[in-house]
Amino acid sequence: MSQEESWLLKEKYGGVESEAFHADLERLKAGEPLAYLIGHTPFLDCEIILDSHPLIPRMETEYWVEKVIESIKMDSKSKVQVLDLCAGSGCIGVAVAKAVSDAHVTFAEIDPTHLPTIKKNLEHNLPDYSNRVEYIQVVESNLFENVNGTFDFILTNPPYIDPVIDRAESAVKSHEPHLALYGGKNGLAIINDIVTKAPKYLREGGQLWIEHEPEQVEAIHSLATSNGFSIVTHKDQYGVERYSVLTLGKTK
């Protein structure tokens, strides 16, 4: 039995083989993602439910979210305002809310089918969610369209795959939402919108953390500086230039 098959048996069926398990094995062999079959996936110290089949959280995203949580914890302000933009499953904002108990977190997601999943992940991962519900918002929004207020941190893993380069595996293309994957020309169309509009929604000195492809670094640096940001790009755990931190109104 492969590692994926063993994980499926343990996580979904408690180690007991059944007719349903063998039916799931066929789906797994046909390319359906393991995380969708199990129904959830780990992300930092959270368990992220995937009922609506949002983008499956990646380890690369987990890596930089852990870094931003460290930055938020070092922020001197209480009740830090955080926006999880292009939220999908809500994994980023949920992880922040769990790690930073007084954070005010807004989730913005364009696909309304994912909004119940975000709320379910909040309830599932935050023992004190009922006491924090007035400080946590989930909104259907095309980027900033229905977002109100300003934030200390905007965190986003936007659609950024360049359709021409397109490194996505066939199983990803077949099963995960294209809306969350492909970023238009050069993979930069949505990133361009975010960086251009973000200053209106950031407080002075606020930060935009954005995930991207390594080929997009030069264009993002140019875009950032022309919109009043300083910018530093960082490598992920695999040595790939994977995310950038844009700081509003400050120079290096």
Question: What is the Cα–Cα distance from 7 to 48, expressed in whole angstroms?
Answer: 16
For domain 53-248, give the CATH number. 3.40.50.150
Q: Report residue 195 as tokens.
A: 């960086």
Please check the confidence at residue 169 and state whether its pLDDT lies above 90.
Answer: no
| CA dihedral of 84, 108, 237, 249, whole degrees rounded to 10 | -50
153: nearest Cα among 233, 252, 57, 77: 77
The predicted model scores a pTM of 0.92
- Both tokens of residue 146? 């229905």
Query: pLDDT-based confidence at 181, cuts 50/70/90?
Result: low
How many Cα atoms within 13 Å fall on the side-chain side of residue 20? 9
- At 184-207, the pLDDT tens digits run 778 899 999 999 999 999 999 999
Q: What does the domain layout of the chain look like in residue ranges? A: 53-248
What is the predicted pLDDT for the residue at 175?
67
Q: Name which of 208, 200, 205 is nearest 233 in CA terms.
A: 208
Mean pLDDT of the chain: 91
48-57, 141-150, 186-195, 205-214: the lowest-pLDDT one:
186-195
Beta-sheet strand order (sheet of 81-85):
136-140, 104-109, 81-85, 151-156, 202-211, 241-248, 229-235
Per-residue pLDDT, 250 = 55
